[in-house]
Structure 1
Amino acid sequence: MRAVLAYVEDKPAAMREIYRILKPGGRFAIAEPILRDEALEVCMLKQLVDSRAFNTEDPFFPLLLRCRAAQFPDTEEKARALPITNYGERDLVRFAIDAGFTDIHLELHIEVRTEDSLPWETFVRTSPHPLAPSLEEVFEKEFTHDERMYLEVRMRAIFESGAQLGAERIAYLTAKKP
């Protein structure tokens, strides 16, 4: 399975169901995106904005928060409630153990790269995950023209500098039903 549990609210129940339908000696493999870190980054940004620990004359961080909060939860409670962000790689192992699987193997692949490998026009039309709007959609729906112009100029400069890193995290888990 690939990116199935990411959309399931009760992952332990899903793992138990996988265990139930497998024959003894059966194996399964999953590949799941791990998006909890991105959600926690947005939560931290919200804490920064709420604490006003920056130049309050510059609207960049509050606008950035509005933008990122349209794509990821901005509180830990919301992150725990959203199926795509309510788990990490260690949770997948625990779910498999609790369901009764053995011979569990998990590999976490993290690919960190600069975001400048895409043209800006492609980047703004790309969603960070299937449940999130693209940056372009967020700009159109959540911002006034002036806010969008300000934020887009700042974000594009960072993006095109080549200094912005992006990370993709995927957990690959295999297990066996004894």
Structure 2
Amino acid sequence: MRLFQPFSTLAVAAALVLGVAHWAGAQTLSQTQIRELMVNTTSAHCEFSLMAVGTWSRTGEPTAEVKPATLTADFLEVDTSDGTASIETDFGVQFIIARQSQGYLHFLYVASTGPVYTTTIFDRPAGEGRYLATHSRHEFTQVSLPGFTSRPEQYYGWCEMTE
């Protein structure tokens, strides 16, 4: 009886793997299709639920704090062939750079006051119609104010792209 048990366990495991692989293949886009979606995207909705905030001690030693976040971003009028997009902010519509390269779709905003914000969508699925994404804020002010970016920040989450 034991002799056949490993075989039957192996057969069940193989069937499960093949079934999951078949289901996953039917539910997801190929890397080529995802990259085509990135090239043809006209808008992207992003949500970030985790963040890391970096700072430096008085002696210059870097430190970081990881904590939950609630950040959303909606990129509009995306045109990767022209390298342009826009984003609605608390200060009105901002025109930004959009760049697709291989498995990455980047959005770059350089503020007239100095800070740089980047958002990158990766060609890696994060659920139905969603893709892994990061958002970074390169900003530093002497005084740290709650609710405002005053230190470098990195956000982690996902984006949905629309053609």
Q: Shorter-chain TM-score: what band?
A: under 0.3
Higher percent of residues as strand: 2
> TM-score, normalised on structure 1?
0.22
